[in-house]
A and B are shown apart, each in its own frame.
Chain A
Amino acid sequence: MKHTENIRCRAAAATTESRWVRWLLIGVSLTFLGLFLAMPLAAVFAQALSRGWAMYVRSLGDSDALSAIRLTLLVALIAVPVNTVFGVAAAWAIAKFQFFGKSVLITLIDLPYSVSPVISGMVLVLLFGRQGWLGPWLEARGIHVVFAVSGIVLATLFVTFPFVARELIPLMQAQGTEEEEAARLLGASGWQTFRRVTLPNIKWGLLYGVILCNARAMGEFGAVSVVSGHIRGETNTMPLHVEVLYNEYNTTAAFAVASLLALLALVTLVLKSVLQWKTGEQLTPEEQGYTGD
């Protein structure tokens, strides 16, 4: 009895620091978060509203601002569904099948994470620009990519394509293929198997990936900046418009648009925590069930 108590004391001592170390660690983290996250966020809203609510609304109602918002929504509306389909297809292929070149595919999916977005934009210019490899051929057919909406969409697609796939691959690998095999043996077609078995199993992970993908699609600056040309009211997305306004010393308007992006970030964070809690909830009883046999 004494022996076990001894062990417990030692174990506690091994994992618990003294009180002032604990407070120091918590203090450092909170100070850091406050300094680098909470304060800037507050500053954005403070600046945006510094000249009153009416000015804030007028800044957002400006036609160039509205067109930037519309373009950002349009780009996200194209990029997110496309990358959702791609992400599900890639994750499905990687998690459920063995094929030649699988590791290459996994590496390629990670490419946008490892390449600076500016370089992604430059590559698009290199390919589709007026002096680019495919540019003249496309231009002859009246298709403009660089300095046009299609270029912005392409750049966003490239930068955001890992998000859904990366979220789903480990999840689908962990779930294995037995449920799909069972469904096939019970007579389900490929589509029925996907819709009734695979999709319900990955739905929270998928939504999580979609939300992250959307946040990045709306917030992307580097790659889009290179291909956009910053044409006001035409090829400016919200992040680009913020920069343009800021460079023109139009601080209030710049922060008004920025505050919308900040709001998007906050909504994303909330959704993300809800989904994390949901996926956690989905997994936990399952694990309990398996150990409870």
Chain B
Amino acid sequence: MGIEVRNITKTFGTFAALRDVSLGVATGELVALLGPSGSGKTTLLRIIAGLEEPDPGSGAILFHDEDVARRRVSSRRVGFVFQHYALFRQMTVFENVAFGLRVRPKRLRPSRNLVKYKVLRLLKLVQLESMANRYPHQLSGGQRQRVALARALAIEPKVLLLDEPFGALDARVRQELRQWLRRLHDEIHLTSVFVTHDQDEALELADRVLVMNEGRIEQIGTPDEVFHRPATEFVVKFMGQVNFFHGRLEGDKVHFSTMAWDWPEHAGASTQPARVFVRPHELDVDVERNGQPSLQAVVTRIHSAGPNVRLELRAASGEPLCAELTQERFRSLNLSVGNTVYVTPRDVTVFADESPK
């Protein structure tokens, strides 16, 4: 294990930021901590780094099977990248990257030439060789973030932690830097954890995603698992827009709206209220009934600017729905606002309602 967190609890006053959180990050893995603000993801990252102390009596933190909970921040060898970069504003880019090498005790400090060699190699890695003598305020946001990364890598860290690394950047730079970071990770294979509130970022970048809510872990899994097999309702809702129906589990079927859907997992159990979720892109839209069970709805709005077309619908029962079609499909249906359509789910996610009314 690259990083292991065992049963960590953290409270600020009366606010429980983390409740008995455990996680393992394999050596060389890139893991995303995903959650809304206030979910505890940044607190968890800061505890791993040693910037915050977990509550007394709560569990251990291990790097490569070595307990570091008692270690001071300065001896944990953590590479940490801050959301707002936290570059040393009085130092040049070169001095920023060299800082971690120059503050070492004398017997461990590399020679002047070695420092120079290492710093220039890192600046080359982050494609900023020509900026060595600039000051942070002379750089763009994306460049500053890469300096911050080079500075963190200079101490040859055991683990790399990134706090909302792209949060302060504009959309285009964010996209570029995201892909660049993934390539970099594939090159250097450093055990890494990054925090984000953007599900696209987490799903695109990470080997595994850890979804957090209210100080607890909702689900840990590969991006595929988290997106296609969400473990909880929170995960379903957090992964993007979703249509929601109250339904009923009965026999091996789930009934919702005017439909019944096969749900073999439930076979044999007693009848129970259920909550049914369908993603917009999992709804098929047709202008006439196609023989399958379907919902009748009216088109209320069309957003066609984008790779897909989003339709806002109102079901005959009154619920608002959202469906997503490819541009080709949309053109072949020849839809406009006010048309009546028939909607069929291709896939649904069902949770038995724990508190039956």
- Taking Cβ atoms with an 8 Å cutoff, the residues of A that contact B are 178-179, 181-189, 192, 196-197, 200-201, 285-286, 288-290, 292-293
- Taking Cβ atoms with an 8 Å cutoff, the residues of B that contact A are 49-51, 73-80, 82, 84, 86-90, 99-100, 103-104, 136-141, 151-152, 154-155, 168-170
Interface pair A184/B74, CB less than 8 Å apart = yes
Nearest 7 pairs between A and B by C-beta? A289-B137, A186-B100, A178-B86, A293-B141, A200-B90, A188-B103, A182-B86
- Chain B residues with Cβ below 8 Å from A200 are 90
Interface pair A179/B88, CB less than 8 Å apart = yes
Whole-angstrom distance between the alpha carbons of A285 and B168 in the complex? 19
Contacts A179-B86, A182-B86, A286-B89: A188 and B137 contacting too (C-beta < 8 A)?
no
- Chain A residues with Cβ below 8 Å from B75 are 187
- Chain B residues with Cβ below 8 Å from A289 are 136-139
Contacts A285-B137, A288-B137, A289-B136: A188 and B88 contacting too (C-beta < 8 A)?
no
Task: With a 10 A CB-CB cut-off, give which of B84, B100, B154 has the most chain A CB atoms.
Answer: B100
Among B73, B87, B140, B141, point to the contact of A185 (Cβ < 8 A): B73
Interface pair B100/A293, CB less than 8 Å apart = no
Chain B nearest CB, measured from A73 CB (Å): 32
Task: With a 10 A CB-CB cut-off, give which of B73, B136, B141, B152 has the most chain A CB atoms.
Answer: B73
- Chain A residues with Cβ below 8 Å from B89 are 179, 201, 286
Interface pair B74/A181, CB less than 8 Å apart = no
Whole-angstrom distance between the alpha carbons of A292 and B143 in the complex? 12
Main secondary structure of the interface of A (DSSP, over half): helix
- Chain B residues with Cβ below 8 Å from A184 are 73-74
Chain A nearest CB, measured from B317 CB (Å): 48
Contacts A178-B82, A179-B89, A181-B51: A187 and B103 contacting too (C-beta < 8 A)?
yes
A-B contact pairs, 6 of them (CB 8 A): A185-B50, A185-B73, A187-B77, A289-B138, A293-B141, A293-B170
Q: In the complex, which residue of chain B has the Cβ closest to the Cβ of A185? A: B80
- Chain A residues with Cβ below 8 Å from B49 are 185
Q: In the complex, which residue of chain A has the Cβ closest to the Cβ of B138? A: A289
Q: In the complex, which residue of chain A has the Cβ closest to the Cβ of B100? A: A186
- Chain A residues with Cβ below 8 Å from B80 are 181-182, 185
Chain A nearest CB, measured from B91 CB (Å): 8
Q: In the complex, which residue of chain A has the Cβ closest to the Cβ of B75? A: A187
Chain B nearest CB, measured from A195 CB (Å): 10
Chain A nearest CB, measured from B148 CB (Å): 8
Interface pair A187/B155, CB less than 8 Å apart = yes
Whole-angstrom distance between the alpha carbons of A185 and B79 in the complex? 7
- Chain B residues with Cβ below 8 Å from A286 are 89, 137
Whole-angstrom distance between the alpha carbons of A285 and B135 in the complex? 10
Interface pair B137/A192, CB less than 8 Å apart = no
Interface pair B99/A183, CB less than 8 Å apart = yes
Q: In the complex, which residue of chain B has the Cβ closest to the Cβ of A192? A: B103
Whole-angstrom distance between the alpha carbons of A248 and B356 in the complex? 98
- Chain B residues with Cβ below 8 Å from A197 are 88, 90
Interface pair A186/B99, CB less than 8 Å apart = yes
